[in-house]
Amino acid sequence: MNEELRGRERDERLAAARATLRRVKTLDDFSLAATPDACAEAAGLAALLRQRPEDTEVAYRLGWLELFRALSRPWDDTRTQDELRAVARTFAPCLTAGVTDLPPQLLPHIADAAEPHVIERLRHALNSVETGPLDTVVREYRRVLDATGAGHPALPQRLANLGTALHARFERRAEGAGLDEALSALRAAVEATPEDDPDLPPRLNGLAGTLRARFERDGNLADLDAAIATNERALKATETTGTTGAASVHHPYRAMTHSNLGLAYRTRYERTTDQADLDAAIDAGRAALSATGPHEPQRPARLVNLGGALIHRHLRTGSTSDLDAGVTALREAAATRRAQQQGLAEAGERRPPDGMAVRGGRGGLPQR
C-alpha cells in the first residue's frame, strides 16, 4: 500500500473512532464502545498501530475505545485487569510524547507500560556521543515520573534513572542546571531506598559520582567530601545487602564502589596534597582490583587508576616499590585493553558503561 492510500485509510479510521468517542461521551454510555462497529474501528486502529507504534494519535483514540469497552462490562478480577493492562500499553506512547489528557486512574499503570521503552532508549543514549537521544530520554523520564505515585515501588529506580540520564547529558554538554537536577533526583532516589535494599549501593554510587562531578565543575570541597562519605556508605551497604547471601567481597557492586572511592580520594589528594588521601586511594584501588575478574571490561581502567596513584606516591616519597608496582599495573592495563579490544572486534560487541545500573521498577495493577 502506498503512502497516500495508507494516509487516507488512517484518516478514515481516525474519523470513525472520533465520532464513536464523541457519542460515548455525549450519551455517557460506555456500551457504545462495545458495538460490532466500534470493535471493528478499534481493530482497524490496532492494525495501524502495529505498523507504526509511534503514531500517538492512533494510540490515543484506540486507548480510549479500549478503556470504554472494558468499562462497559461487569468487573471481573482477571479479565478486567488484563484489559486495563492492555489499555495502559496502548496509552504508553501518548504519555512519553507529552499527551496530558489520559485517564488519571490509569496513569501509574501507563507509566509502568511506558518505562521499558524509555529504558531501552536510555541504554542506547548512554552508548551514544550525541546529546539529542539524552534530551529525549530526560523529557520522557520526567513524564513517567509525573505519572508515578508517591508510594509506587518503582519510584526510587525511576528517580535514579532520571539522575543517570541528566548526569550523562551534563558530561556531554556541561549543562549546569541539569547536574543540579540530577543531584536532586539521585538524592530523592537514595532517600526512598531502605538500608537493606540491594539497590542501595548502585544508587549511592550514582549520587557520589554526581557530587564529584559538581566538585569538578564548581571546586567546592564540600561536594567532594560528601562524595567520599557517600561512597563509604555505599561500601558499607555492600556488606549488608544482596540477595545471594555470598560474602561481601563478592557483592556485585563492591569492586565498583572501591574503584569510585579510590578516584574520589585521589581527587581530594590532588586538591589538598594530604598523604592520607593518597594512601586511601591506593588501598581502595587495590581492593577494587582484587574484586575484579581478569576478563572484566572494567579491569584496564582500574589498573590505570591504581598505577597512576602509585606513581603519584613514588613522586612524593621516592618509593621505588611504588614506582615498580605502578609501572607493572600500567603495562598490565595496556595488555588487557588490547586483548579485550581484540575480543570485542571478533564478537562485534560494545561494552556498556562501567557501573551502569539502569533498570525498570516494579509495578502492577491493584486488585479491586
Is residue 176 predicted with pLDDT exceeding 80? Answer: no
Q: What is the pLDDT of residues 205-261, one digit of tens each?
A: 999 999 999 999 999 999 999 999 999 999 999 987 655 544 455 688 999 999 999
Using a 10 angstrom Cβ sphere, with 0-12 exposed, 13-18 middle and 19 or more buried, the burial of residue 292 is: buried
Is residue 352 predicted with pLDDT exceeding 70? Answer: no
Q: What percent of the chain has pLDDT over 70?
A: 89
Is residue 39 predicted with pLDDT exceeding 60? Answer: yes
Provide mean pLDDT across the span 192-205.
Answer: 95
Lowest mean pLDDT among 49-53, 134-138, 165-169, 362-366: 362-366
Provide mean pLDDT across the span 44-60.
Answer: 96
Where does the pLDDT of residue 344 fall: very low under 50, low under 70, confident under 90, or very high at 90 and above?
Answer: low
* Contacts of residue 112, Cβ cutoff 8 Å, sequence gap at least 6: 88, 154, 361, 363, 364
Q: What is the pLDDT of residues 205-221, one digit of tens each?
A: 999 999 999 999 999 99
Is residue 353 predicted with pLDDT exceeding 70? Answer: no
Dihedral (C-alpha) 105, 110, 111, 113: value to the nearest 10 degrees? 150
Lowest mean pLDDT among 84-98, 131-145, 341-355: 341-355
Q: What percent of the chain has pLDDT over 90?
A: 81
pLDDT (0 to 100) of residue 251 = 82
The Cα–Cα gap between 329 and 310 comes to 9
pLDDT (0 to 100) of residue 6 = 81
Closest CA to 158 of 177, 143, 168: 143
What are the residue ranges spanned by the domains of the chain?
A: 1-73
pLDDT (0 to 100) of residue 367 = 36
pLDDT (0 to 100) of residue 174 = 73
